Structure 1
Amino acid sequence: MPIFGIDISHHQGSFDVERAAREGIDFFIFKATEGSNFTDSRFGENTAKARRTGKPFAAYHYQRAGVSAAAQVAHIRKVVPRTVPVIPDVEANSGGVPLTRDLVARLRAAGYSVPLLYLPRWYWQQIGSPSLAGLPPLWSSRYPDNNVGDIRDEYADVPAHYWNGYGGLRVAVLQFTSSARVAGRSPIDGNAYRGTLAQLRALFRSSGGAPSIPQQEDTMPVKLNVGTHAQSFQIPEGADKLAINCPHGELKVKALLFVGDRYPDGKEEDGLPKFDFRGNPTPDGGKTIHRLRPWRVEIPKGATSGALYYEYPKPDDRYEYYGSLDFVY
């Protein structure tokens, strides 16, 4: 099952983004700008609400024909903070792909992440089915019907071939309905991403290569309960470090290991993948993590999972305490 998101603009008025997040919507895309002079009146409000949810979000810019890429990017820079990814929206009256390439290049040069390109198949065919090679992956759109319903029920009607790419690009996000019911409102554009929330965060931070915004820890940590435990974990795609945190007292790491399908090289005697017992035992018989001083460890290339052996004595009886293991991108 994919994760679901919505895209909205001023046309939806004041939208309850926080309620949508509580209902299970995992990402948001908001209209920000159009051409060289239009600014969506709800963009600031929508992004402020999205920040409070902790869910990933992006802005989209409606590309306009007859307006230079330089002028359009200059307008975007006045409205959209550079920490917010920008997605070009290329459809009716947007002009051709050369303008899009110029727009994407200028956005990247200005420091923006450009993780996706909204260019529906019908418009791509209308402009002659050109090559899209080198552009960001597609945010495509195609609807099986126009019936209003729950976003998950609507996705159940989507055929697999709606995910087929075109122009040399894959479809990363699919807008599969314009009739979803979300946060008590309809019709709303519904989108799907076939991956994890961590993978979507990594995508939104990407721009054809390295992240273009400061690296930060994922907001869905692995909980570390008090006591003596062995905690396994899966490593999300795109994570390059893990951070072990202790908000109160001291947490002592006894062992930390990594493993993967092709990491490390070789096999154990029983034929299973060889484990990397990194830090087993950890320096001086254990790595002590003090209050609010996380231990950051690089994730070996090829590792896909791991395990943490630790002791976390309960600091006192005032609260329910727990540490956390976060992934850094």
Structure 2
Amino acid sequence: MSSIPVCIDISHHQGYPDFDQVRASGVLGVIHKATEGSNFIDDARAENLANAKRAGLGIATYHWLKPGDARSQIEFYLSVVDPEQGERVVIDYEEDGCTLHMLKEAVQALLDYGSDLQISVYSGHLLKEQLGDNVDDFLAEHTDLWLAQYASESSISWPSGTYPQWSLWQYSETGEVPGIDDSYVDLDNFNGSAAEFLRWINPKGGFPMPVPPPEPSEVVSVAITAPEQVGVRVMINGKVVRHRPLRPAKRGPDIVR
């Protein structure tokens, strides 16, 4: 597995990355948190995704589903994001207390919105435990799977009765990517080629040609050895390109209701 993922997923906890550096490292896409529950809006989304798109990255958003009225949550998400025709949208389904009924209510709300949205479900153990080996025809027809499981690819498992294959796999929550200095970041690989990933993450009907990273005219290698407890700030031509230590990224709900 490459050390540079095809895709990263972020929220306001990663601050405001330098997406030119992110893209130059080899990352092709960004999925950003948009909303949670019925009243939380990630205030970094709009600026971050505009900058990511400007840098040539594919972009999409997700809603963190909380226990409760799933339809009203999705209507809130849609009012914030206002997705375009054929856009990729993701339901983050991982919080205890959420049920398959709620998940399918959320999917149905997206279907009712129209616009031929592409729907993915992000989940790990919760969906696998609830589906087991069963086949859920509704989810199989209308969604694909973004799997969260921090293990080697040879040992991961998922509810394959409903999803014969995963589309995206989050394999780490402690990744480091050039251009993101505020915290660790989630790393994701796609089950296909780079071109297939760009078709997957972008709205139906076409996708932008990836912007090639600039070719360095000369490469300077520098090795730094420092104790773990010592912070390191690396500057190139007066610009900070890496600052250690990174803080752990928050993985969990931003609001408690």
TM-score, scaled relative to structure 2: 0.69
- The alpha-carbon distance between structure 1 residues 8 and 102, as it changes in their structure 2 partners (threshold 3 A), is same
Match status 1:203 vs 2:200: yes
Cα distance in 1 between the residues matched to 2:200 and 2:97: 25
1:198 is displaced (CA, Å) by 2.2
1:62 is displaced (CA, Å) by 0.6
- The alpha-carbon distance between structure 1 residues 162 and 68, as it changes in their structure 2 partners (threshold 3 A), is closer
Cα distance in 2 between the residues matched to 1:142 and 1:37: 28
Cα distance in 2 between the residues matched to 1:75 and 1:112: 18
User: Contact 1:62 / 1:94 at 8 angstroms: preserved in 2?
Assistant: no
Aligned to 2:74: 73
1:100 is displaced (CA, Å) by 1.2
The higher-RCO structure (CA 8 Å, 6+ apart) is 2
User: Contact 2:60 / 2:201 at 8 angstroms: preserved in 1?
Assistant: yes
Aligned to 1:188: 185
Aligned to 1:45: 47
Match status 1:166 vs 2:190: no
1:124 is displaced (CA, Å) by 2.3
Aligned to 1:63: 65
The C-alpha deviation readout for 1:246-297, integer Å capped at 9, x for no partner, is xxxxxxxxxxxxxxxxxxxxxxxxxxxxxxxxxxxxxxxxxxxxxxxxxxxx
Match status 1:124 vs 2:127: yes
User: Contact 2:19 / 2:52 at 8 angstroms: preserved in 1?
Assistant: yes
Give the aligned length. 199
Aligned to 1:6: 8
Aligned residue among 101, 105, 115 for 2:104 = 101
Cα distance in 1 between the residues matched to 2:39 and 2:80: 10
Cα distance in 1 between the residues matched to 2:107 and 2:193: 26
Match status 1:219 vs 2:226: no
- The alpha-carbon distance between structure 1 residues 38 and 128, as it changes in their structure 2 partners (threshold 3 A), is same
1:166 is displaced (CA, Å) by 3.1
Residues 115-154 of structure 1 aligned to structure 2 (within 5 Å): 115-120=119-124, 122-127=125-130, 129=132, 131-135=135-139, 136-144=143-151
Local SS of the residue matching 1:201? helix
- The alpha-carbon distance between structure 1 residues 43 and 220, as it changes in their structure 2 partners (threshold 3 A), is closer
User: Contact 1:108 / 1:114 at 8 angstroms: preserved in 2?
Assistant: no
Cα distance in 2 between the residues matched to 1:33 and 1:217: 25
Structure (1 or 2) with the larger CA radius of gyration: 1
Cα distance in 2 between the residues matched to 1:108 and 1:33: 18
1:180 is displaced (CA, Å) by 0.8
Structure 1, unmatched stretches of 5+, are: 145-157, 222-329
- The alpha-carbon distance between structure 1 residues 128 and 174, as it changes in their structure 2 partners (threshold 3 A), is closer
1:61 is displaced (CA, Å) by 0.3
The C-alpha deviation readout for 1:64-118, integer Å capped at 9, x for no partner, is 111241x112211221131242100001145111211121122122126234210
User: Contact 2:36 / 2:66 at 8 angstroms: preserved in 1?
Assistant: yes
Percent identical across equivalent pairs? 26
Aligned to 2:83: 82
Local SS of the residue matching 1:134? helix
User: Contact 1:115 / 1:205 at 8 angstroms: preserved in 2?
Assistant: no
Runs of 4+ aligned residues of structure 1 deviating over 6 Å after TM superposition are none
- Larger strand fraction of residues: 1
1:126 is displaced (CA, Å) by 4.6
Match status 1:21 vs 2:23: yes
Report the AA paired with residue 74 of structure 1: E
Aligned residue among 170, 173, 177 for 2:172 = 177
Report the AA paired with residue 34 of structure 2: A
CA RMSD of aligned residues (A): 2.5
Cα distance in 1 between the residues matched to 2:146 and 2:25: 23
Report the AA paired with residue 105 of structure 2: D
1:42 is displaced (CA, Å) by 0.8
- The alpha-carbon distance between structure 1 residues 220 and 187, as it changes in their structure 2 partners (threshold 3 A), is closer
1:52 is displaced (CA, Å) by 0.3
Cα distance in 1 between the residues matched to 2:6 and 2:206: 23
Local SS of the residue matching 1:86? strand
- The alpha-carbon distance between structure 1 residues 132 and 49, as it changes in their structure 2 partners (threshold 3 A), is farther
